[in-house]
Each structure stands twice: as C-alpha cells, then as structure tokens.
Amino acid sequence: MSLDLNKKYPNIDYYYSDENGHTLGPFTLENLLPRINKDTLVYRNGINWTNADRIDELKKYFNTNDSITKANSISNENLTVKTDQTKKIIKGSLVVLGLLILIIALKYLMSSDVNTSKVSIETTNETQPSFQNKSTENPPSSDMGKYRQASDRVLTAVDIAGYSSSELRIMRNEIYARYGYIFKSKEMRNYFTAQSWYTPRYSDVSSFLSETEKKNIELIKRYE
C-alpha cells in the first residue's frame, strides 16, 4: 500500500512528532507508515501538524488497519467461544463415561452376588435336598444302612451321644440314601456308592421322608 501511495504522492517529505515531542524526518510514505499510528502528529508541505488519520493519503491505511484489528478481535472471540464449547463437550463426555463405568461396575457386583448365592444354595442342597412333591413309595427296608435306628424311631440326645461329627453326618445322610437320593457332595457320593444296598435314583427325596425321619434329621444337625 505504501508503494502505491508513494506513486500517488511522489517527492513529498513527511515529518512526525514522537512521544517526547521531537520532530523526526524527513520520510517517504513507505518509511513513515511503520513508525506512526493514527494519533501521531504528522507534518508535510501543505498540511500543518495534525493527527495522521486526518491526512487524506493516510486515512485509508489506518481504516484498513482498524478493520484488520476488529477482524482479529472477532476471530479471537469466536475462537474463545469454540474453545469453551469444546471444553463443555469434553466435560459432558467424561461425565457420561463415568456413569457408564459405574453402571457396569454395579452390574458386575450384582452378578457376583447372584453367583455367590447360587453356590451357597448348591452347598446347602448337598446334604439337605429341596422339598418337591413326589408320589410316596414303599418305605425302605430297615436293614439298609449302618444307622437304621434313624429311620425306625425318634431319637434323643442320649441316642446320638458319643458319635463323632463325621459319623453323625453319615447317619443323617443315610436317611436320604435309603430312598435313593443322588448326592452332590463327592464325599457322600463316594461313601454311599460303596454300599451294596444303595441305588441312586432321585435328585429330591424330601417328599418320601417320614415325620420320624424329619425329626431325627433336625436333631442330628444340631449335634453334627
């Protein structure tokens, strides 16, 4: 732009006053423009000292610079807005991600609790089958097993005194074995499979038990 101005205003010397009031010059337009702003006092032949933006050949230059400054300001403002929007989007995404992780963790914990409950129920069912409705068959023979008295009559604490915990467990499970209960416990399964009278047939024999046997099972469990 300064070169164009030089062509339009050839052989014109310009002077300007600095912040300390010193007069500097002479300068061509090309050399003058980088040194001044719109409020700088400028002098040339035909024009007394006045603000640079009041001189015709300089007005366009300063107006152009003002437009660039405004454009840069607007661009910076838009960039700031976009940056703020990006931060909000990232923050929202992190919140959503955190919620998803929390939901997955809760589902995992709930699943673990259910599996633990299943294991607990399975362990309990090894020695005490769940109650289901089955048709009553003929009671087992009284000569089946080592502790036949547990099916013949109601026992008392005196009857089971002196037996070890292992013996009491066999006594209690022998009641189920007489009806052909299929044991889930490896220990009980191995023991009763070795007995000649035992025939595994049912996964639940609770409906076959007599009232006498049910009472004896509860008594034995208390001392087992």
pTM (2 d.p.)? 0.40
17: which strand partners? 23
Residue whose C-alpha is closest to residue 7's, from 35, 29, 26, 32: 29
Asked if residue 198 has pLDDT above 60, the reply is: yes
Identify whether 26 is preceded by a cis peptide bond (ω within 30 of 0).
yes
Report domain extents, the chain: 2-62, 149-223
Output the six-digit token pair for 172.
Answer: 């209690």
pLDDT at position 188, please?
Answer: 96
pLDDT at position 9, please?
Answer: 64
Asked if residue 180 has pLDDT above 50, the reply is: yes
Q: Residues 73, 74, 75, CA angle at the centre, nearest 5°?
A: 90
More confident call, 63 vs 167: 167
pLDDT at position 120, please?
Answer: 47
Count of all residues that appear for the chain in the document: 224
pLDDT in tens, 126-178: 444 443 444 444 556 556 899 999 999 999 999 999 999 999 999 999 999 99
Q: What is the CATH number of domain 149-223?
A: 1.20.58.1690
Other residues' Cβ atoms within 10 Å of the Cβ of residue 168:
19
pLDDT at position 181, please?
Answer: 97
| Helix, strand, or coil (residue 23) | strand
Domain covering 2-62: architecture:
2-Layer Sandwich (3.30)
pLDDT at position 109, please?
Answer: 84
Residue whose C-alpha is closest to residue 36's, from 69, 46, 23: 23
Mean pLDDT of 183-209: 96
Mean predicted lDDT score pLDDT of the chain: 81
Q: How confident is the model at residue 121 (pLDDT cuts 50, 70, 90)?
A: very low
Determine what percent of the chain is predicted with pLDDT higher than 70. Answer: 73
Summarize the chain as % helix, strand, coil (round to 5).
60, 10, 30
| DSSP secondary structure code for residue 11 in this structure | T
| Helix, strand, or coil (residue 130) | coil
The answer for residues whose C-beta is within 8 angstroms of residue 171's C-beta and 6 or more apart is 146, 147, 150, 160, 163, 220
More confident call, 216 vs 91: 216
